[in-house]
């Protein structure tokens, strides 16, 4: 039943002039879950979030957030959600504390509650020492934290995080992941868009892969990895000129299509680690020297590549 899900969208279409940003997208986020929306730039991730956050009206289709229609019950939807976009949307001339107060007031919350909640969030996000400095003076990571804190002021049950860690250094990214994990532990539902597959792998219960405004795969990270096959072998040859000889020599071990990237040959294999011995033998017979040899589980990057034919961070424009 559509109204029991945190997010339930069916057949979303969004046209900007002649460009179809969304082309019949279906999306379900069950209550209390983290769903990662994955796709290259321009695939429709942000458009989806903007429709669900009532910032855009869909051209076609229906969407319910917390059981409320995004078109007909926008205010009820807005009361249920917190939105953190790709850009730290805080007033940089106001201090951290003033920003939280402003957003709390705009949610029409009692000022005693806003005060108490602000202090709590400032402490939790490690912003107490900076609370009375204008946000202009904050580092990128601090601004993102203030941005996220601002969307949490009304304790929303559903959080939309649109590329929350894009542009952050690894340490700040880890810190933000920690915060998101503890919010989820408290029962917050999260819809997360990201280009970082590692992020989706770490945080999301379910992953929805979209491309050209349509869902092309969904499931847990493990299911998606299994879909494209099991283990892969990666052989880097010492002499770049012999990389295609190596690819030809290894045909007997590959269980599917192999590919060449610079001086590395990779492809799906079966049979576990014994295959490593075969690889060494086959290449030795052709006098091809090996610089590096590895057997690995597929990553979400592989999933992405095999599903869309391009990497996650490549630009796509139709």
C-alpha count within 13 angstroms, C-beta hemisphere, residue 33: 20
User: In this complex, which beta carbon is closest to another protein, that of residue 75 or of residue 257?
Assistant: 75
125 is a contact residue toward another protein (CB under 8 A): yes
Rg (CA), the chain: 23
Q: Which of 2, 28, 55, 316 binds another protein (CB under 8 A)?
A: 55
User: In this complex, which beta carbon is closest to another protein, that of residue 109 or of residue 228?
Assistant: 109
How would you label 142-160 residue by residue, b for 16+ Cβ within 10 Å and e otherwise?
bbbbbbbbbbbbbebbbbb
108 is a contact residue toward another protein (CB under 8 A): yes
186 is a contact residue toward another protein (CB under 8 A): yes
User: In this complex, which beta carbon is closest to another protein, that of residue 36 or of residue 82?
Assistant: 82
User: Are 165 and 86 in contact, with CB atoms under 8 Å apart?
Assistant: no
User: In this complex, which beta carbon is closest to another protein, that of residue 180 or of residue 303?
Assistant: 180
User: In this complex, which beta carbon is closest to another protein, that of residue 67 or of residue 230?
Assistant: 67
Binding to another protein by CB under 8 A, coded x per residue (else -) over 154-183, reads xx-------------------xx-xx-xx-
81 three-state secondary structure: strand
DSSP string, 199-268: HHHHH-SEEEEEETTEEEEEE-HHHHHHHT-S-EEEEEESSGGGHHHHHHHTTTT-SS--EEETTEEEEE
109 is a contact residue toward another protein (CB under 8 A): yes
User: Are 131 and 95 in contact, with CB atoms under 8 Å apart?
Assistant: yes
For another protein, the binding residues (CB under 8 A) are 46, 50, 53-56, 75, 78-79, 81, 83, 85-94, 98, 102-103, 105-110, 112-113, 116-117, 120-121, 123-126, 134, 136, 145, 150, 154-155, 175-176, 178-179, 181-182, 185-186
């Amino acid at each position: 039943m559509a109204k029991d899900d945190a997010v339930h969208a069916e057949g979303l279409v969004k046209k900007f002039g002649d460009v179809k940003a969304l082309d019949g997208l279906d999306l379900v986020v069950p209550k209390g879950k983290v769903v990662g929306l994955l796709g290259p730039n321009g695939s429709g991730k942000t458009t989806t979030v903007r429709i669900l956050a009532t910032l855009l009206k869909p051209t076609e289709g229906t969407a319910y957030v917390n059981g409320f229609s995004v078109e007909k019950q926008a205010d009820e939807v807005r009361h249920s959600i917190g939105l953190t976009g790709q850009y730290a949307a805080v007033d940089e001339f106001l201090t951290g504390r003033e920003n939280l107060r402003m957003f709390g007031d705009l949610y029409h919350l009692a000022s005693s509650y806003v005060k108490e909640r602000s202090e709590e969030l400032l402490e939790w996000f490690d912003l107490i020492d900076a609370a009375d400095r204008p946000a202009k003076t904050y580092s990128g990571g601090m601004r993102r934290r203030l941005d996220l804190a601002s969307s949490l002021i009304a304790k929303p049950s559903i959080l939309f995080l649109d590329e929350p860690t894009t542009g952050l250094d690894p340490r700040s990214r880890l810190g933000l992941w920690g915060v998101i994990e503890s919010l989820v532990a408290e029962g917050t539902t999260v819809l997360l868009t990201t280009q970082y597959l590692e992020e989706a792998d770490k945080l999301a219960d379910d992953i929805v892969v979209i491309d050209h405004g349509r869902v092309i795969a969904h499931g847990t990270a493990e299911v998606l990895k299994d879909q494209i096959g099991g283990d892969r072998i990666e052989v880097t040859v010492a002499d770049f000129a012999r990389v295609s000889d190596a690819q030809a020599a290894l045909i007997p071990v590959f269980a599917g299509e192999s590919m060449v990237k610079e001086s590395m040959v990779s492809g799906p294999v079966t049979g576990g680690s014994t295959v490593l011995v075969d690889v060494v033998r086959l290449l030795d017979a052709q006098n091809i020297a090996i610089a590096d040899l590895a057997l690995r589980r597929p990553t979400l990057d592989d999933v992405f590549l095999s599903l869309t034919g391009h990497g996650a961070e490549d630009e796509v424009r139709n």
